[in-house]
Structure 1
Amino acid sequence: MTVLHAAQALMPTGWQGDLRLTITDGRFSSIEAASAPQPGDVRVAVLVPGLPNLHSHAFQRGMAGLAERRGPSADTFWTWRETMYRFALRMSPDEAEAVAAQAYVEMLESGFTRVGEFHYLHHAPDGSPYGNVAEMAERIAAAADLTGLRLSLLPVLYRWSNFGGVAPNEGQRRFVSDLDLFGRLVEGSRAALRALPGATLGVAPHSLRAVTPEDLSAVVALAAAGPVHIHAAEQVREVEECTAWSGARPVQWLLDQAGLDPRWCLIHATHMTPDETTRLAASGAVAGLCPVTEASLGDGIFPGPGFVAAGGRYGVGTDSNVLVGAADELRQLEYAQRLGNRQRNVFAAPGASTGRALFDAALAGGAQALAADEGGLVLGAPADCVALDGTDPALLERRGDALLDGWIFAAGSRAVEAVWVAGRQVVAGGRHRAREAVQARYAGVLKRLMAE
């Protein structure tokens, strides 16, 4: 049993002071308001729920910063993708696990307590399936288990290279599966999660480029009641090619043909018309926004004001993991809107805190998108929470929502003092308990990969 005493804590009903939270068997078993700390309590200045990271490609953490040299012509998402393919072809299962563990340590240190791993690095470097077809999924699960990060695993069907079932290219060979092999991957992924408390399983048709309509229907059926994630409308070229293939834009096609509902999460959804924006919001599906990666790749700016005004739900993810940080994603989400709309405090209601609006939306949207039961700091919920350092210069003399504004816009990950997942402290003093070992292993992997 652990008892936390928070001078300030963010409850679903708002901020409360002097809160004592008892944790038993990984859940909040007692919550006492207006209570003085008792001997043996773990005392923290500020306590907030841990955030879900709804979209990650963990293996890409190893190539962070390696695609920042300009080529002979204009660089785009499509030229970056070729760099990513070359990097993906090098990793062994051991190396992929080590890179994922490094990414997951950084996620926890920044305030994320769950990840949605959009997992498509399935096969051996030559493209052949491993004897255990879920070998790489098991390595993702092992990295989550080692670090203590909750896992929502989203095995990806990647069958074709472009709209209309164009044959995959050589750079995609580690990703590609037919429907039979993918069915076995899903079952192997399910088995890989059995030992992980609180883990959830969904499916991820990679994109309308990578699956046909028939493939999409088959994949959604495999999800049963689990979440369905798909990349959609990330790039203008993608929108143009989808329109040429089907006569409809990607989000429009999914709305008309796929029966979007609250199980679905559309990753990026950057390029939408006003009608698509309103209809996506009405569907109950979550928009999975990855603002740092979207900025890194030059994707564009999500139509945030219209989507939120229509009641749309969204969460954030770290995608390529070029920079891992909960506050970083929320800050970039707001700042992109400020640049695009030439306004300030775009996501907040009049008179309200922008940090609070972003945090609440990411918490609720991420939990929905990952089929997670995290309910925040409430009785019976998993004890997944983050303590912020009240002595950080950006948090000094702040109370209530001003603490979130200070964390997101002025402090970032340095303000994260401690993190608990299922009541187990995994971060103390801003450092993950296994950081040294994980980083040493990661360094060895990078030494080998960078030597090639």
Structure 2
Amino acid sequence: MRRLILDHALLPEGWVRNVGLDVEGGVIAAVHRDAPREDREHITGIALPGLPNLHSHTFQRGMAGLAETRGPEGDSFWTWRQVMYRFLGRLTPDDVEAIAAFAMMEMLEGGFTSVAEFHYLHHDTDGRPYADIAELSGRIAAAAQETGMGLTLLPVFYAQGGFGGAAPAEGQRRFINDVERYARLLEGARKAVVNLDDAVVGVAPHSLRAVTPASLSEVVERSREGPIHIHVAEQVKEVEDCLAWSGHRPVAWLLDHAPVDQRWCLIHATHLDAQEIKGIAMSGAVAGLCPITEANLGDGIFEGIDYTAARGCFGVGSDSNIEISAPAELKQFEYSQRLKHRARNVLAECEGQSTGRNLYEKALSGGAQALGRRIGAIAAGHRADLVVLDADHPDLAAVSGDRWIDSYVFVAGRTVIDTVFVAGQAMVMRGRHVNRDAIRARYVRAMNRILA
């Protein structure tokens, strides 16, 4: 058993000083308030529960910055997607692992301690499966092992190129499976994570445009347990195409035709009407928001005020990994609402409430639910995942309590992160991952080859 004492910690009931943690097998066995310091390992600073990252495509970290040159026509998500197809056409399994490890390292340094990897890059460059159909799932698991990142692996089911059974494009050939081959892939992914502590495998129908109603139903029926994630209503064009295909908006169609409940995470859900907002909230599903990526791609602004007023659950993810920072995702979410509504502190729920703390705690709860793991709280029975802020940092030194989180989210960001624990082990110390040099060197070698 490891016995820690924290100067300050955000517990479910609020801020507490001198918090003793007993950690056994990576899990918090007991929490002691006002614990004596004798015989305990002293962790200086301000401890927060580690934030779950509920949506990531780690391979896209390697293409960050490659789509920021204006094209001959209006740039959009759809033109960005063509850059992505060209980039992934050169990736080998070694590249996938190197990029994933680098992205996960940055997630840990940026305040995320677990990730839901929405993994849709499955096959070789010609579209044929590897000898081990779950080869690339295994590379994601290896990256999580090396970095210490908590992992929910979501192998993606991707079967068609658009609504109505459109044929896949050439750039999608590394994603494509039928239901039977996907079942083999899923089984391989479960074997790939068997040596990872506390790993979870779920399923991820990519989107309504990438599956048929029949195949969606079959994939969901085969998933007896674990999370179910799906992209939905990210783009206006997607909404228009879904209306043309079915006569219904994407979220409305999904709520009417699938057993959406607390196991589901609806990624983006950017374009909603009032009934869809109410429907998601009533279902208990999580809205998986990726504010930095959604801004980078020009997706639109989520209906944050109406959704939170309906008591809808949400979490945040780094998605395309254009910038990896837990506090920055929360800040971007709040700032998007400020710009849309021309007001301030719009995601706080009542007078006197800290906007930063409310955002953080809601994202903890929604993220833990979406990842299907006992994380997101400094409490007995939860994974010992902690983000410890530097109490001597100039932006934190003169404040206390909720002002610490407000300064973390809105001012200093990831620069105040000192130590990050995953399952009770320090994976980041003084702001740097313990394996940073080796992971960085391998990533640089991979990128020099890919972009040569």
Give distance in 2, aligned partners of 1:40 and 1:167: 61
Residue equivalent to 1:103: 103
1:129 aligns with 2:129: yes
Residue equivalent to 1:365: 366
Give distance in 1, aligned partners of 2:102 and 2:316: 19
What aligned pairs does 1:250-329 form with structure 2 within 5 A after superposition? 250-329=250-329
What aligned pairs does 1:9-408 form with structure 2 within 5 A after superposition? 9-38=9-38, 41-350=41-350, 351-374=352-375, 376-408=377-409
- The answer to whether the Cα contact below 8 Å between 2:205 and 2:219 also exists between their aligned partners in 1 is yes
Displacement after TM superposition at 1:375 (Å): 5.0
1:98-133 deviations in Å (ceiling 9; x for gaps): 000000000001111100000000000000000100
Query: In structure 1, what residue type is equivalent to 2:215?
Result: D
1:424-452 deviations in Å (ceiling 9; x for gaps): 1111010000010000000000000111x
1:63-122 deviations in Å (ceiling 9; x for gaps): 001100000011000000000011111100011000000000000011111000000000
Query: In structure 1, what residue type is equivalent to 2:173?
Result: R
Give distance in 1, aligned partners of 2:170 and 2:187: 26
- The answer to whether the Cα contact below 8 Å between 1:37 and 1:43 also exists between their aligned partners in 2 is no
What aligned pairs does 1:406-425 form with structure 2 within 5 A after superposition? 406-425=407-426
Give distance in 2, aligned partners of 1:98 and 1:84: 17
Residue equivalent to 2:428: 427
Query: In structure 2, what residue type is equivalent to 1:217?
Result: S
Give distance in 2, aligned partners of 1:339 and 1:76: 21
SS in 2 for 1:209: helix
Query: In structure 2, what residue type is equivalent to 1:404?
Result: I
Displacement after TM superposition at 1:193 (Å): 1.2
Displacement after TM superposition at 1:296 (Å): 0.2
- The answer to whether the Cα contact below 8 Å between 1:326 and 1:413 also exists between their aligned partners in 2 is yes
Runs of 5+ consecutive residues of structure 2 not aligned to the other structure:
none
SS in 1 for 2:208: coil
Change (3 A) 1:259 1:27: closer
Displacement after TM superposition at 1:349 (Å): 1.4
- The answer to whether the Cα contact below 8 Å between 2:90 and 2:125 also exists between their aligned partners in 1 is yes
Query: In structure 2, what residue type is equivalent to 1:87?
Result: F
Give distance in 2, aligned partners of 1:368 and 1:4: 27
Name whichever of 210-219 and 26-35 sits farther off. Answer: 26-35
Displacement after TM superposition at 1:2 (Å): 2.9
Displacement after TM superposition at 1:147 (Å): 0.3
Query: In structure 1, what residue type is equivalent to 2:220?
Result: V
1:367-402 deviations in Å (ceiling 9; x for gaps): 111111115111232211111111112211221111
Query: In structure 2, what residue type is equivalent to 1:275?
Result: Q
Give distance in 2, aligned partners of 1:331 and 1:213: 37
Give distance in 2, aligned partners of 1:313 and 1:44: 32
Give distance in 2, aligned partners of 1:425 and 1:166: 48
Query: In structure 2, what residue type is equivalent to 1:342?
Result: R
Displacement after TM superposition at 1:291 (Å): 0.2
Displacement after TM superposition at 1:4 (Å): 2.5
- The answer to whether the Cα contact below 8 Å between 1:4 and 1:44 also exists between their aligned partners in 2 is no
- The answer to whether the Cα contact below 8 Å between 1:157 and 1:177 also exists between their aligned partners in 2 is yes
Give distance in 2, aligned partners of 1:292 and 1:365: 18
Give distance in 2, aligned partners of 1:380 and 1:229: 25
Residue equivalent to 1:442: 443
Query: In structure 1, what residue type is equivalent to 2:196?
Result: L
Query: In structure 2, what residue type is equivalent to 1:149?
Result: M
1:116-174 deviations in Å (ceiling 9; x for gaps): 00000000000000010000000000000000001000000111110011000101010
Quote the sequence identity (%). 54
- The answer to whether the Cα contact below 8 Å between 1:119 and 1:154 also exists between their aligned partners in 2 is yes
Runs of 5+ consecutive residues of structure 1 not aligned to the other structure:
none
Give distance in 2, aligned partners of 1:17 and 1:397: 17
Query: In structure 1, what residue type is equivalent to 2:310?
Result: A
Displacement after TM superposition at 1:312 (Å): 0.1
SS in 1 for 2:451: helix
Residue equivalent to 1:4: 4
Indicate the RMSD between aligned Cα atoms, in angstroms: 1.0
- The answer to whether the Cα contact below 8 Å between 2:232 and 2:266 also exists between their aligned partners in 1 is yes
Give distance in 1, aligned partners of 2:86 and 2:339: 33
Give distance in 2, aligned partners of 1:91 and 1:440: 17
- The answer to whether the Cα contact below 8 Å between 1:418 and 1:430 also exists between their aligned partners in 2 is yes
- The answer to whether the Cα contact below 8 Å between 1:203 and 1:222 also exists between their aligned partners in 2 is no
Query: In structure 1, what residue type is equivalent to 2:258?
Result: A
Displacement after TM superposition at 1:29 (Å): 2.6
Displacement after TM superposition at 1:36 (Å): 4.1
- The answer to whether the Cα contact below 8 Å between 2:5 and 2:40 also exists between their aligned partners in 1 is no
Query: In structure 2, what residue type is equivalent to 1:29?
Result: A
Query: In structure 1, what residue type is equivalent to 2:47?
Result: L
